[in-house]
Amino acid sequence: MKRLMSGFFLFLAFSVLLVGCESGMGSPTEATKTNAIESSSVNLTDKEAKDILNELIPKAESLYGMFNGSGWFKSDETKTIPGEDGYALVIDENVKSVADLKKAVEEVFTKDMAQTVFYSRYLTSDKGDRPLYRDYEGKLYVDTNNGGHGWPIEFLVDTARLKGQKDNVVEIELDKTVLDDPSDPLTVRIEYVDGKWLLASRLDD
């Protein structure tokens, strides 16, 4: 009798353990549903697209201003690069190197677009061009001989509408004005990279 009772309690304990494991594992249907939700999470509505552009476009406009000439940052023209006329020390608490500039750009644009729009034009000395910004002895300098020009474009984000979506890339069309006059619509691409949306096209076409 004792042996029979012992066997019964052993069976009962094993049954409880098995039920607990199955409840912790979850059903295949639940796992499939979760994966489906995650895989479709980058499909945007017009409203979501507008919200993203309202975040990205003002930041992008600031970056264009930053690379538009020498007047974006304060600079100390008494501190220069020896033998390089026109370069002055940048005075800014948050931007102290070319690496800081690139970090700011890559918070808004994809790396490929950052290279095309900004780095190749303003941060390299290819073909004898003077870079707008350069590092010297651990500090950032700007070419004060490089004048800027205005930004005549206004992007009407409220008019944004989806043109297409594929994988992690979305195309959006929006209206714009140039010098306050209506202009041709602009198509921009945004790309979902490492958990955030970035501009994958330029704004100055």
Give the closest residue to 173 by CA, choosing from 185, 156, 164.
185
Residue 29 is predicted with a pLDDT of: 34
Determine the pLDDT at residue 128. 66
Cα gap 165→17, rounded to integer Å? 47
pLDDT at 186: 96
Q: What pLDDT score does 71 carry?
A: 84
pLDDT of 205: 72
The pLDDT, as a whole number, for residue 25 is: 36
**Within 10 A of 27 (CB to CB), how many other CB atoms are there?**
10
**Model pLDDT, residue 42:** 66
Predicted confidence pLDDT, tens digits, the chain (205 residues)? 444 344 433 334 434 333 343 444 343 333 333 233 234 456 899 999 999 999 999 999 999 999 988 789 999 999 999 999 899 999 999 999 999 999 999 999 999 999 999 999 999 877 667 899 999 999 999 999 887 666 789 999 999 999 999 999 999 999 999 999 999 999 999 999 999 999 999 998 7
In the three-class reduction of DSSP (H, G, I as helix; E, B as strand; rest coil), residue 167 is classed as: coil
Hey, where are the domains in the chain? 69-143, 153-199
Spatial separation of the C-alpha atoms in residues 92 and 125, rounded to whole Å:
23
Assign residue 183 a region (left: φ > 0; alpha: ψ between -120 and 50; beta: otherwise). Answer: beta
Which pLDDT score is estimated for 43?
A: 86
